Amino acid sequence: MSITVPALVQTFDPTWLAIPIFTALTVAEMIAAKMTGRARFEPKDSAASLLMGFGSVVAGIVFGALTGAWVMMVYQARIFDIGFVWWAWIAAFVLDDFLYYWSHRWAHTVRWFWADHVVHHSSQHYNLTTALRQPWFGVFTLKFMWLGSLLALVGFHPAMIGFVSGLNLIYQFWIHTEVIKKCPPWFEAVMNTPSHHRVHHGINARYLDRNYAGVFIVWDKMFGTFQPELDDEDIRYGVVKNLGTYNPLKISLHEWFSIINDMRRAGNWRDAMMYLLAPPGWSPDGSRLTSKEILERWEARQSGGVPESQTGETQAKPAE
Amino acid sequence: MLILLIVLLASIVGISLMVLLNRHLGLNTPAVITSLEDARERLDVDQIGFEAGAAAILSDDGKTALVEERQSGRFGLLAARGDTIVIRYLEPGSVRTARMGEGKDIELSLNDFTFAPVRIAIADRTTARQWADRLNSLQA
């Protein structure tokens, strides 16, 4: 069956249109930071984040043809002909966000996917430039081949998927700020907000691997990964082993290199595959710590237990 | 294609302007390690259960600190980068070089490409030399 693509999605790319809005909001946040002190900026860090955002746009252009062609191919084998009926837009938006939740969750719990996503978490700052700190080599995770194609297989048109995922991305921009403390309770209950997402970027033990939501925080509540922001502890942002560089290429590639080095030094095939597929921080001798192990140590300390001797190195923040 | 190039060029200009504004507004306060106690507390928060040993030093400018871990013998290295502190744990193989620079400073490079070399300012040359030797003992 032939499906006519509406002119809206043929000519209108929401993410490109959002760039001037992103710029204006970032400038506004800087001014708010100056006036209220409620946000932190570091010029070199901001420059790195903005260049990462720029690079990700270029990467999207370079690799877009490949991923687009793949999704179109999958769409040819679609199960349903959903087309562009009105309810399909809503369904696509919600289902895309649902898939985002799982994709994001695996991006924190499978090191292969974390190698790409760590880029977004690699700043110790949390401001609107952090939202733009995006990876360049996401195509290497190959997630587009399965998770990114699922909606097309069901029968949603790739142009519609691109459009709603663009809206999802735009929504997630404004939540990367410390300027907004809390939104109205009904909004906090349903939607992802700056407060919820600050938790997600935190490396405090209680905040690791929490709040994976893109737009709707309800997914975290449904699947047991929700953690509200607490008043009794300042949030530390970044990754467990923070970067001491602002070089965008190093930011982009450091975890990939780290995985390759670990796999090369692994004593056997099983360990090599675990370095690739196990949660970040896994090591065969337990000399590094995963998010779960960090939380266990923190809880042991809180309950008065004596933490085990620290002989290892905590590695990447196992948890965007 | 032309539009794309214009957008990309405009983005570079926009990025430069935002960074300049950021700098102009002076939004960052350079990070400082105020004392060895501050360094120990930061290490304990960073690595739950880090037990500091006796050997420790804070650089004269408060930009760097080294704290030995009691049981393992490795060193927690804290280095100010802009308005944040970056931490590394130094074990055998971690250090590439620890050279005495001009005056009494140690220039420390790690075998870690995500950690740019750091200068450790120590007032006393003999102390600086001892720490450089200690760090060099952690080369591969």
Domain boundary among A206, A223, A240: A223
B116-127 pLDDT, tens digit each = 999 999 988 899
Chain B residues inside the 8 Å CB shell of A44? 82
Residue at A128 is within a domain = yes
What residues make up the domain containing A86?
Answer: 11-223
If asked whether residues A212 and A144 sit together in one domain, one would say yes
Arithmetic mean of pLDDT over chain A: 91
Alpha carbon separation from B121 to A35, A123, B115 (Å, rounded): 35, 26, 18
Asked if residue A45 lies in contact with residue A125, where contact means CB atoms within 8 angstroms, the answer is yes
Same domain? A209 vs A267: no
Dist. CA A121–CA A209, nearest whole Å: 12
Q: What's the rounded Cα separation, in Å, for the pair A197 and A210? A: 9
Structure tokens at A187: 């909004």
Q: Is A187 a member of any domain? A: yes
Nearest CB to B27: which of A34, A205, A308?
A: A34
* Cβ A181 vs Cβ A235: under 8 Å: no
Whether residue A205 lies within 8 A of chain B, CB to CB, comes out as yes
User: Could B18 and A61 be called an inter-chain contact, meaning their C-beta atoms sit closer than 8 Å?
Assistant: no
* Paired tokens of A180: 């907004």
Kindly state the average pLDDT of the residues A126-145. 94
Nearest to B19 among A43, A57, A257 (CB): A43
List chain B domain ranges: 1-29, 36-136
The reply to whether A163 and A270 lie within a common domain is no
Facing A54 at nearest CB: one of B11, B27, B46 = B11
Architecture of the structural domain at B36-136: Roll (2.30)
Q: What is the pLDDT of residue A208?
A: 97
Query: Same domain, yes or no, for A281 and A147?
Result: no
A262 in the same domain as A118 = no
Task: Count up the domains in chain A and report the number.
Answer: 2
Q: List C-alpha distances in Å: A45 to A88, A244, B23.
A: 40, 11, 11
Average pLDDT over residues B127-140: 92
Residues A135 and A30 in one domain: yes
**Would you call B49 and A301 a contact, using CB atoms and an 8 Å cutoff?**
yes
Interface test with chain A among B24, B40, B47, B48, by most A beta carbons within 10 Å: B48
pLDDT digits over A214-271, tens only? 999 999 999 999 999 999 889 999 999 999 999 999 999 999 999 999 999 999 999 9
Q: Closest-CA residue in chain B for A34?
A: B27
Enter the pTM of the model. 0.91
Q: Identify the CA nearest to A176 among candidates A196, A156, A190.
A: A196
Residue A71 within any structural domain of the chain: yes
Q: What is the pLDDT of residue A315?
A: 38
- In this complex, do A57 and B8 lie within 8 Å of one another by their Cβ atoms? yes
- Is there a domain that residue A233 lies in? no
Closest chain B CA to residue A237: B84
Residue A31: its chain B contacts at CB < 8 A? 25
Whether residue A293 sits in one domain with residue A155 = no
Q: What is the mean pLDDT of residues A19-48?
A: 94
Task: Report yes or no: B74 and B57 within 8 Å, Cβ to Cβ.
Answer: no
Residue A25 in any domain: the answer is yes
**Residues A129, A26: Cα–Cα separation, whole Å:** 7
Instruction: Please name the residues in contact with A213: beta carbons below 8 A apart, sequence gap of 6 or more.
Output: A97, A101, A104, A192, A196, A219, A220
Same domain, A96 and A218: yes
**Cα atoms found within 13 Å of the Cα of residue A193, Cβ hemisphere only:** 20
CB of A275 within 8 A of CB of A259? yes
Residue A166 resides in a domain? yes
pLDDT at A310: 46
In a domain, A42, yes or no: yes
Strand order in the sheet with B106-110: B95-100, B106-110, B118-120
* pLDDT tens digits, one per residue of B89-120: 999 999 999 998 777 799 999 999 999 999 99
Same domain, A100 and A179: yes
Mean pLDDT across A133-148: 92
A237: in domain = no
CA distance B15 to B8: 11
**Are A68 and A121 in the same domain?**
yes
Report yes or no: A245 at the B interface, CB cutoff 8 Å.
yes
Contact B89 A313 (CB under 8 A): yes
Read off the pLDDT of each residue in A7-32 and give the average, rounded to a whole number: 85
